[in-house]
Amino acid sequence: MIEARRLHILRAVADHRTVTAAAAALYLTPSAVSQQLSALEQETGHRLVDRGAKGVRLTPAGEILLTHTNAVLAQLERAEAELAAYSSGAAGTVTVAAFATGIGLVVGPALARLARTAPGIRIRVQDAEGDASLPMVLDRQVDVAVAVEYRGAPGADDARLTRVPLYAEPFDAVLPATHRLASADRVPLAALSKDNWIGPFPGNPCHDVVVLACEHAGFQPQLEHSSDDFRAVVALASAGAGVALVPRSALRGMDLSDAVVRPVDGVAPTRRVFAAVRCGAEQHPLISPVLEALGEAAEG
């Protein structure tokens, strides 16, 4: 008989590619993860992983088991949801990981809605960049992620996750008030190819949006300054240090007295925001109202 907890460890190893990283995500020791993998191999009668200098790779048998693992763990999530519904689980804690502007735009308003409509649900919010929250959901560190599309993100058809689209927003060009294009109605990105740029660090999903938008415009941005804090990005642009692309919602309430914000000419770069839970968990009586409230907040 295969133990479900060992399947969860197999999936973590497949996701993180090393025993050490999987152990850290699961709050286990690397030796405990290795022992559970060995026990799973004994239960199945197959070698499931190849251990090498560059990490761990699933064998063909391991890949087969991983496919069933995703289905089994999703079904267990559904079973927990139905049992919770049976016991009228209208009270409890749901942990949500979201990036800063997502917290301001949808998570905060969703909390206010839930306080009125489902006062028994307590929400704990963790600030996490858009590319960090999905692994946190898969590793069961949080229940819900408010995340953005990014290069290398699990696809919409990933069997491990259920997604709820929330909103899409354009990036606007932020220029120093003295910039040569400050009086333009719209800014062609190609016209900024020779400027110094200010942007998020590599690994931040917004970094990918900026770089890909510039590549589509025919150039590589010269990223002279880096910050994941959009207030810092705008402050640097206001000081004349360079130009930037910033999500429109992140500009709300900022001091723009020494900068100008202009829409991008043509097809604007866009970030798409969604909520995600482990597949099957969307039916849980605590999580379902949270997803509904996030969707209502996004519509508003």
- The residue out of 19, 53, 83 marking a domain boundary is 83
Structural domain count of the chain? 3
- What are the residues whose beta carbons fall under 8 Å from the beta carbon of 21, sequence distance 6 or more? none
For 131-183, the pLDDT digits (tens) are: 789 999 999 999 999 999 877 778 888 889 999 999 999 999 999 999 999 99
Range of the domain at 157: 88-162+273-299
Let me know whether 252 and 295 are in one domain: no
Verify that 259 and 236 share a domain, yes or no.
yes
> What is the pLDDT, as a whole number, of residue 38?
86
Domain co-membership, 136 together with 119: yes
pLDDT over threshold 80, residue 90: no
Domain boundary among 49, 83, 117: 83
Contact 124, 117 (CB under 8 A): no
* Structural contact between residues 113 and 297, judged by C-beta atoms closer than 8 angstroms: yes
Question: Of 264, 268, 257, which Cα lies nearest the Cα of 178?
Answer: 257
Where does a domain end: 42, 61, 83? 83
Question: Three-state DSSP class for 184?
Answer: coil
Q: Is the pTM of this model over 0.75?
A: no
Please indicate, yes or no, whether residues 109 and 147 belong to a single structural domain of this protein.
yes
Domain identity same for 130 and 256: no
| Cα 85–Cα 86–Cα 87 angle in degrees, nearest 5 | 90
The pair of structure tokens assigned to 133 is: 């929250």
DSSP H or E run through 88: none
Q: Indicate the pLDDT class of residue 15, thresholds 50, 70 and 90.
A: confident
72 pLDDT band, cuts 50/70/90, is confident
Predicted confidence band of residue 88 (pLDDT cuts 50, 70, 90): low
Do 25 and 79 lie in a common domain?
yes
Q: Report the SS3 class of residue 203.
A: coil
Tokens of 282: 């969307």
pLDDT at 84 over 80: no
The reply to whether 265 and 175 lie within a common domain is yes
64 shares its domain with 116: no
Burial of 86 (0-12, 13-18, 19+ CB in 10 A): exposed
Query: Domain containing 174 — which CATH number?
Result: 3.40.190.10
Q: Verify that 99 and 156 share a domain, yes or no.
A: yes
Per-residue confidence band for 89, with pLDDT thresholds at 50, 70 and 90: low
pLDDT band with cut points at 50, 70 and 90 for residue 87 = low
| Mean pLDDT confidence for 87-99 | 82
User: The domain that contains 15 carries what CATH number?
Assistant: 1.10.10.10
Separation CA 26–CA 41 (nearest Å) = 19
